[in-house]
Amino acid sequence: MSRCWLTGASSGIGAALAQALLEQGHQVALGGRRRQPLQALAERFPGQVLLADGDLDDPVQVAQIAERIQQAWGALDMAVFNAGTCEYLEPGHFDPALVERVVRTNLLGVCRCLAAALPLLRAGVRPHLVVVGSSVTWFALPRAGAYGASKAAVRYLMESQRIDLAREGIDVTLVSPGFVDTPLTRRNDFPMPQMWSAERAARHIVRRLPRRPLEINFPGLFTWCLRLLGALPARLRLALGQRLARHEQE
């Protein structure tokens, strides 16, 4: 079984992924800001869990996590970067500090983890890099500028890294979920069609990881619709976005 580093494992998709991977027998370095849920998994799966909690916004803590993995296992076979956040930009109140917070976690956090993980993956067996993005990158939504921009950057980064890492034998999979029931989405005040539970999302991801696909999208109909909408001419996309914005404001 593989040696895996999973970030954002204390809640949501990450917590469900942690349980699914551990149930399959993998060794998992569990990352997250809150230690208690990670410790609970360590007690349920003795000998399989390496506690790797810390703040991914802090380069020193990320380096310390990588050192912990190096000392315990010597290498990584898989890294799953799932940690992320979401905040919305309210019309008429553009907040650059909000954008910075979201980008710092969603994009720069991935970059810091990637830099720390690559030497470990290069020493692993059939290394696999998995990063959780978002289906929102296919079609711009109102108020989602900060979140969407951060995830669009993650998409481009991973597609570029996929090319660069292929020569080293490191496979790259981008996960693009639709709406998933998590502590973050529970704060949303708008309709979220075809929402999946975190457990269903985790099962879907874990079943497909052994095939090492370039991308894992779900739910199928929802993500297909977003890709179709994203292919429309720019003026039509603008008109649809404005209708969504007016609906939100009613």
**132 near 175, Cβ under 8 Å?**
yes
Residue with tokens 């979220």: 192
Asked about 156 being catalytic, the answer comes back as: no
Place of tokens 């991973």: 158
Confirm if 95 and 89 have CB atoms less than 8 A apart: yes
* 91 HSE (CA, 13 A, CB side): 7
Q: CA angle, corner 42, sides to 68 and 50, nearest 5?
A: 15
Own/partner long-range contacts of 162-166 (Cβ < 8 Å, ≥24 apart):
162/214, 165/129
Burial of 209 (0-12, 13-18, 19+ CB in 10 A): buried
Phi and psi at residue 18, in whole multiples of 5°? -60, -50
DSSP strand pairing (180-181 vs 78-81)? unpaired
Catalytic residue among 147, 179, 196, 222: 147
Nearest 10 degrees: Cα torsion 16, 127, 7, 206:
-10
Helices marked H in 143-233 — which ranges?
145-166, 198-208, 220-230
Distance between CA atoms of residues 66 and 114, nearest Å: 10
Q: Which residues are catalytic?
A: 147
